[in-house]
Chain A
Amino acid sequence: SYELTQPPSVSVSPGQTARITCSGDALPKQYAYWYQQKPGQAPVLVIYKDSKRASGIPERFSGSSSGTTITLTISGVQAEDEADYYCQSADSGGINVVFGGGTKVTVL
């Protein structure tokens, strides 16, 4: 079955840049999305179609794509950005939707 691979955790100091990667063989063919989830809350869409920022999301969040890897970048990290982040995409046929395992971002 198709899988998306994310690092389990990323730590960053306030004001620095956090980069979260997501790898999958079908990413060159399928759009990817990024979600932020804080404890006890539902996920929130952050980035759609690889690089477009969702409504209400601060400009410090950006998405990029290169080959089989997509990256969520948080520039000038703030304490409120501490959360779990999940990538989402589909297999090459576009039928099976998958989420990455999630990355916990810790603001030091």
Chain B
Amino acid sequence: EVQLLESGGGLVQPGGSLRLSCAASKFTFSSYAMSWVRQSPRKGLEWVSTISDNGRTTYYADSVKGRFTISRDNSYDTLYLQMGSLRVEDTAVYYCAKVGYGDYGCDYWGQGTLVTVSS
């Protein structure tokens, strides 16, 4: 069964930075695009970013463009999200997800890591 394990969440001050990681296993990581999706407390899902299987193409939501960077290391089956200039409204559970269908259909999700932006 596909496994996705996020890490790196925590408490950070506004304006600060944080890097999330997602360790993938039990599938051929380098063959699939990957996404980050977040969920603010008691709110809905928000797509954050997607990266192609080879890492050459990236897409971002307008809300994070210019502040967040998605990347991957196919040698280590790991997905990353570098977050900078963090704002209170970035507080959320961040999920990594495997894109298994089409360009954005996520067939497997991790359990999420909580990022709290607060002074």
Contact = CB atoms under 8 A, between A and B. Distances in A.
Give 3 closest A-B pairs by Cβ, nearest first: A42-B109, A97-B47, A48-B101
A98 B105 contact: no
Contacts, number: 69
Interface of B: 35, 37, 44-47, 50, 59, 61-62, 95, 100-107, 109-112
Interface in A5-30: none
Contacts of A95: 59
Interface of A: 1, 31, 33, 35, 37, 42-45, 48-49, 54-55, 84, 86, 88, 90, 94-102
A33 B105 contact: yes
Given A43-B95, A97-B50, A90 B104 contact: yes
B109 A43 contact: yes
The binding surface of chain B is classed by DSSP as strand
Given A33-B106, A97-B47, 18 more contacts: A1-B62, A33-B104, A37-B45, A42-B111, A43-B37, A43-B106, A45-B105, A48-B100, A48-B102, A49-B101, A55-B107, A84-B44, A86-B44, A88-B45, A88-B47, A88-B104, A90-B104, A99-B46
A41 to B, nearest CB: 8
A37 B39 CA distance: 11
A38 B29 CA distance: 27
Given A54-B107, A90-B104, A101 B47 contact: no
Contacts of B109: 42-44
A54 B44 CA distance: 21
Determine which residue in B105, B107, B110 has the highest number of CB atoms from chain A within 10 A of its CB, and name it: B105
A101 B44 CA distance: 6
A64 B37 CA distance: 25
13 contacts: A31-B102, A31-B105, A33-B102, A33-B104, A33-B105, A42-B112, A45-B100, A84-B44, A88-B104, A88-B105, A94-B103, A96-B61, A102-B45
